[in-house]
Amino acid sequence: MPTRIRALPDPCGVDGTETAQRFLTSAHESVQAVLTTLDTVRDVRRNQGQNVTGRLTSQEEDLLRAAVVFTGAGLDSTLKRLIRDTLPRLLETNEQAHKKFEAFTVQRLGTAEIADTRMVARYLVAENPRAQLIDDYIYDLTGSSLQSAEQVQSTAGALGIDDGELRQQINTLVPLFTARNQVSHELDLQQPERPGDRTRRTRRMAATVTLCGDGFVVAQRVVNGVGNLLDT
């Protein structure tokens, strides 16, 4: 039976979310292509008379690692594109998004006791101080890669999403980001503790496919949530 990643929920199709949706769909297709390649590799082994019901080979686990990294990258690029394309509009209409922007502005300019005079001057001399602040805010939100569920929570908050169910679902992405960071930063390498232990962490098909699917579903729900805010 082919290994299939969980299908994306239906997209919202709202103006302003098109590019983020395209990024998400492309990433989802890329991960499915990796899983299809994994099936092909296993079919070759099976046709050669090898037993494929046990532990995956190192090469097969590398394909699962690629799926995890692609999922993390897809989530990252989708949400960053969503911020760049929709946040300026949301700041005009969404109270929560605007409050997050105000908090950033306060932090940026300093307190009444200790104002950052250089930063204040930067905005005072700008042709459009508000637009400059928004540009800096967007850069602050997108300048580094998303490496934790907590950062996804911050992104969702900045976009004005207050759906409690979705915010709880974002918390379930902790295992995905743990795996993503283990692969991206450590190549899954580990110190063997007993004779026969592998030098790399084990990745299992069912668990990995579930992690990736969950990540994409959350990303789609965030895109749709922003679409709903833009459409009201």
Q: Give the model's pLDDT for residue 137.
A: 96
Q: Is residue 189 included in any domain, yes or no?
A: yes
Which ranges constitute the DSSP H helices of 94-204? 95-109, 117-124, 129-142, 149-158, 164-171, 174-186
> Is pLDDT of 170 > 90?
yes
> Is pLDDT of 112 > 60?
no
Q: What is the pTM of this model?
A: 0.92
Q: Is residue 2 included in any domain, yes or no?
A: no
Angle formed at CA 70 by CA 67 and CA 74, multiple of 5 degrees: 135
> Is pLDDT of 114 > 80?
no
Confidence of residue 107 (pLDDT cuts 50, 70, 90): confident
Confidence of residue 113 (pLDDT cuts 50, 70, 90): low
The 10s digit of each residue's pLDDT in 67-97 is 999 999 999 999 999 999 999 999 999 999 9
Q: Is residue 10 included in any domain, yes or no?
A: no
Q: Is residue 27 included in any domain, yes or no?
A: yes
Region 172-183: mean pLDDT is: 97
Q: Is residue 52 included in any domain, yes or no?
A: yes
Q: Is residue 9 included in any domain, yes or no?
A: no
Number of domains observed in the structure of the chain: 1
Q: Do 154 and 80 touch, CB atoms closer than 8 A?
A: no
Q: Is residue 1 included in any domain, yes or no?
A: no
Q: Name the residue range of residue 88's domain.
A: 18-230
Q: Give the model's pLDDT for residue 122.
A: 80
Region 27-48: mean pLDDT is: 96
Q: Is residue 86 included in any domain, yes or no?
A: yes
Region 46-51: mean pLDDT is: 92
Identify the residue whose tokens are 């699917």. Answer: 213
Region 108-123: mean pLDDT is: 72
